[in-house]
Amino acid sequence: MMRRHRLKAPAGVVADYFRLFVNRRAYTLQSDRPHPESGRHYYFRPTDKKTGQGLSLTLDTIRRHIEGEITIALYAINPENQRCKWVAIDADYKNALPDLIKLGYYLKQDGVESALEKSHRGGHLWVLMAEPLPARDCRIYVYDLASRLGLPVKGAGLPEGIEVFPKHDELKPGDRKVAEIEGLFIAVFNVGGQFYAIEDVCTHDDGPVAEGDLDGYEIECPRHGARFSVKTGEVLAPPAYEDVATFEVRVEGGVVQVRAGARPPEG
């Protein structure tokens, strides 16, 4: 009978993980139970059972993740300064691996070291920063290099190609972004150039809703199909029956600002 041995994460490894990868203390946790309909293990934001506030990432949580006890996902950008500690270049398409190797070679010519991680169809290139850099600048640099090398870029008129994470720090029409503000997770949507903000929680099961499909002003919960208006917070389809909280949004100097605790005026 084979024994299963779980990797033990030394304190130094846990500290290095935090230093290299953690941009903010918020995180999501993968459910250990598959969804009964899709069979997928969805991610959710763990909360304190007494206060309902989102839990902050701890060194012990990181240790459990490294040791394989749980699976967590981290946010790519520090929302306070729009900087990132790392860049992940993802390529998940046929014959993607040679493209990543080529990209890694030319990154090195620019003095940028990268680490290749293989996946089933392609892989990822990881770039770890000596210090946090503006996410937008990192993304522009990688996409410009990929363009000069003739590599496919997903979303630039192509269904498949490389993707760069952090993916975006600006909200274009049809985009959405989730941020933690004063202990609340708030989702901001750009619908036709107008910005709207709702609490990122489905009132049916308390899971995040911003990951769902956006159709006009309607957002659909990715788990059970409840629908809400991002403009008014009104619930539009079951199994949810309670509205979701909305918040006031304004744009100043090109920066989208959300006022937590303040609902927009009626009408």
125-154, pLDDT tens digit by residue?
A: 999 999 999 888 898 899 899 989 999 888
The per-residue pLDDT of the chain, averaged, comes to: 86
The domains found in the chain, sorted by start residue, are: 11-74 (no CATH), 83-165 (3.30.70.3300), 176-259 (2.102.10.10)
Residue 169 has pLDDT above 60, yes or no: no
What's residue 167's pLDDT?
Answer: 73
Average pLDDT over residues 179-184: 74
8 A C-beta contact, residue 61 and residue 54: no
Pairing of strands 72-74, 27-30: antiparallel
pTM for the model stands at 0.61
What's residue 196's pLDDT?
Answer: 92
57-112, pLDDT tens digit by residue?
A: 999 999 999 999 999 988 888 877 888 999 999 998 888 999 999 999 999 999 99
Query: Position 232: which residue type?
Result: T
